[in-house]
Chains A and B, each alone.
Chain A
Amino acid sequence: MTSTLIKRVLTVASVTLLVGCAGTQQPPNPEDPWEGMNRGTYEFNDAVDRAVFKPVAELYAFVTPRPVRTCVRNMYLNIGEIWSMINSSLQQRFVDAINTTGRFFLNTTAGLGGCIDVASMQGQPRISNDFGVTLGVWGVPQGPYLVLPFLGASTVRDGVGTGVDFVGNQLDTIGAIPNVRLRNSLWGLEVVVRREALLTVSETVDRTALDPYSFIRDAYLQRRKAQVLGQEDAQELPDYEDYGDVEADERALGIEQEKD
């Protein structure tokens, strides 16, 4: 009896040790020094999402025809154009600011309050922008990767940006509605609409990612870097070193392979 117990304890202990080793073996990711804490928040967010947000979004997708969902989503995105425009101006991307202004007026009028994205059909796609990008353009470094409770992937810089976005984009628009019930309903619906728009993405991550945490982190950081760089420099390509070439060269030169 006792020996079994001791064995069990030992097994658990050795497994813990092994896991501990596996953990320390990883070279820490310089962009994610708070990985331990972040993974905890990620697990929490994921549990909340699977229990609440995702099912509600799926229900919404199930009961609402796709054109209606697209319309509602477009209307929310349309309200957000004003804040995008302000940020493009702050970044001195004036062409973007002018295009976004044009989009806002066209879609609000001809597009029936933003329901129909007339501007995209005429070849002027949305240029999304926010204060995190503005800080990046101003030269503020992104800082460590940070998973925010409920909100998900972010960095220290983008977290500050999100706070400013909330004031600029939410409190000044839907937040300015005096009727509290209407205001809160609109915010509630916005959460559902935003989550619904991500359903296929999150399903693909579930189906393909080896480690969803890393997958989301690396995708987020790549995307934010491109947004800060802007359209002109988005052509900057990742430079993958092709070790197949290295191997072929070594073989051709008769060099013994060094395994590192």
Chain B
Amino acid sequence: MSILMANVPCAMGVMGATGAQWFRVTARHAVMAIAGLMVSAAVAAAPDPKAEPPVFVQEVADQLLTVLKQDEQVRNQDMARINEIVNEFIMPYVDFELTTRLAAGKYWRQATDEQKQELSQAFKNTLIRTYSGALTQVDNSTSMEILPFRGDAQAKDVVVRSNVVQSANTQPIGVDYRLRREPEGWRIYDINVENVWLIQNYRNQFAQQINRSGIDGLIAALNERNSQ
């Protein structure tokens, strides 16, 4: 949005200088074309997992917000479309297998390789729905500010903190990302919203379901929930 806004004074200057109707129209088209180019350029610049963690998270968020804000279906709160965007623009930077493994805790070792894969896939869809739920309220005033990085960028496991302002005049929401350094760069594996860590919040639910109906039961329960 900031990219689009930056063009407004420039466009107004052009219009004021000429006053001719036809020129105004052409100028507006030109501005729209330039804005369009700049937005697609912003989208094309993919986040770099090898960058410093706060820079990487900022890039992921900027790309995501740019896409969300210019999508017609998102504005109409089309959940299927938001899920698609999350899958395309967040999930590549999330190590959902690690998230699943940590949520499963000691039960991970009871799972066969096939079950591990199915469980990760099922939980991936739960993660997508979790992120999407937080993004239904995105509008043009939504912004994210990365807080000063207090961790050690050389460490293997770091936390990047941020404040998200969902819409104008509302309280910022504290959102923290936990990242792990992997061979291909940083990857997000846990997220904290207002002091609640996601993995921590699924550990009891996983254990409960596994105790009741085993790993297959957990996979089935996740898939059932995700199909509703």
Point out residues on A near B: beta carbons under 8 Å: 22, 25-27, 29, 66-67, 70-71, 74, 77, 116-117, 120-121, 125-126, 200, 203-204, 207-211, 214-215, 218-219, 222-223, 226-227, 234-235, 237-238, 240-244, 246-247, 257, 259-260
Which of B98, B109, B136, B137 is packed against the most chain A CB atoms within 10 Å? B109
A210-B225, A243-B101 given; 17 more Cβ-contact pairs under 8 Å = A25-B212, A116-B169, A120-B171, A120-B172, A125-B163, A125-B171, A203-B133, A207-B133, A208-B130, A210-B222, A218-B205, A241-B106, A242-B102, A244-B98, A247-B109, A257-B109, A260-B110
Beta-carbon contact of A71 and B169 below 8 Å: yes
In the complex, what distance in Å separates the CA atom of A242 from the CA atom of B196?
20
The smallest C-beta distance from B182 to any residue of chain A, in angstroms, reads 12
Point out residues on B near A: beta carbons under 8 Å: 98, 101-102, 104-106, 108-110, 126, 129-130, 133-134, 136-137, 150, 159, 163, 167-172, 178, 194-197, 199-206, 208-209, 211-212, 218, 221-222, 225, 228
In the complex, what distance in Å separates the CA atom of A251 from the CA atom of B101?
17
Q: A22-B212, A208-B126, A210-B225 are in contact. Are A70 and B170 (CB under 8 A)?
A: yes
The smallest C-beta distance from B202 to any residue of chain A, in angstroms, reads 8
Across the two chains, which residue of chain B brings its CB closest to A220? B196
Q: A215-B201, A223-B194, A244-B98 are in contact. Are A117 and B108 (CB under 8 A)?
A: no
- If over half of B's interface residues share one DSSP class (helix, strand or loop), that class is named, otherwise mixed; here it is helix
Contact for B129 among A207, A211, A214, A257, CB less than 8 A: A207
Q: A67-B169, A211-B205 are in contact. Are A234 and B130 (CB under 8 A)?
A: no
Q: A240-B105, A244-B108 are in contact. Are A210 and B167 (CB under 8 A)?
A: no
In the complex, what distance in Å separates the CA atom of A66 from the CA atom of B170?
10
Q: A241-B105, A244-B98 are in contact. Are A235 and B126 (CB under 8 A)?
A: no
The smallest C-beta distance from B82 to any residue of chain A, in angstroms, reads 12
Across the two chains, which residue of chain A brings its CB closest to B145? A123
Beta-carbon contact of A210 and B205 below 8 Å: yes
Contact for A200 among B102, B133, B211, CB less than 8 A: B133
In the complex, what distance in Å separates the CA atom of A235 from the CA atom of B151?
10
